[in-house]
Amino acid sequence: MAYTIPDISLNDGNTIPQLGFGVYQIAPKVTAEAVGRALEIGYRHIDTAEMYGNEAEVGQAIRTSDLDRSDVFVTSKLNNGFHRPDDARRAFDSTLEALKTDYIDLFLIHWPLPTRYDGDFVSTWKTLEEFQRDGRARSVGVSNFQVPHLERLAAEAEVTPAVNQVEVHPYFGNEEVRAYGRAHGIATEAWAPIAQGKVLDDPTLLDIAEQLGRSVAQVVLRWHVQRGDIVFPKSVTPERVEENFRIFDFELDDATMERITALDRGEAGRQGPNPDTFDVIPA
């Protein structure tokens, strides 16, 4: 059965497929094969980053597919060591070169790093605005930005981020950030959508999955899309990649949605670093 992946409208007039394929922690030597398989299944949105070290392999998979470049939505992110404007410009050029493309659909600041570079992520953001103005980035956004970071951009910059990619899953709803995004037209993308696998043996989710005849991962991914967020699960297991794609032929009712949302543990449920203190720059 063929599935139509819904598009999410962004605040700059562009659209983004709501379901994508992530390549975080996928080794470069297997990335091209994994992305190629995802494209064959029907994924049309690939999420990578300079930090992942596999942009070139993503580009290779797209070029060797039967798809035109315009048929695939590609996201990448600025590495943490390149926030200063001139460094960001060089890093962006490197991303385009690695992908072998003259534009990228969405480019993000990967982390705000509020304790680095004198806390000046605004000048970094204004540099991304340049990339959008010259057409080499169709959309620009941020990743792991908290509400105070977003408020500072609103006060000091001209362009509102199209997207904020943040940790979201049933154990960590990140509701304050999501609510700010809704109020200001910033789409939320959920990374770690199944809490890095931590939710797969949750009794509530296992019960729901059994009732529906679905996997826990499918149930959780369906919860994300019904909340209106963009999601991009990752796997190198062919069966899992296809399973994650098959989430548009069933729905969760309101009561089930509420059961899943109620699993939120607040800050205790966070699996990744806290963006307010995270300041790691790769060697």
**pLDDT single digits (tens) 262-278:** 999 999 999 999 999 99
- Longest distance between any two alpha carbons in the chain, whole Å: 54
Low-confidence ranges of the chain (pLDDT < 50): none
Give the torsion through C-alpha atoms of 100, 230, 250, 23, to 10 deg.
40
pLDDT for res 1: 52
**116-138, pLDDT tens digit by residue?**
999 999 999 999 999 999 999 99
Strand 21-22 relative to strand 7-9, pairing: unpaired
- Is 3 designated active site? no
Prediction pTM value? 0.97
Is 7-194+228-236 a domain of CATH 3.40.50.11030?
no
Candidate list 52, 103, 117, 171, residue with the active-site label: 52
pLDDT for res 247: 98
Distance CA 94, CA 88 (A): 10
Task: Map out the domains of the chain as residue ranges.
Answer: 7-194+228-236
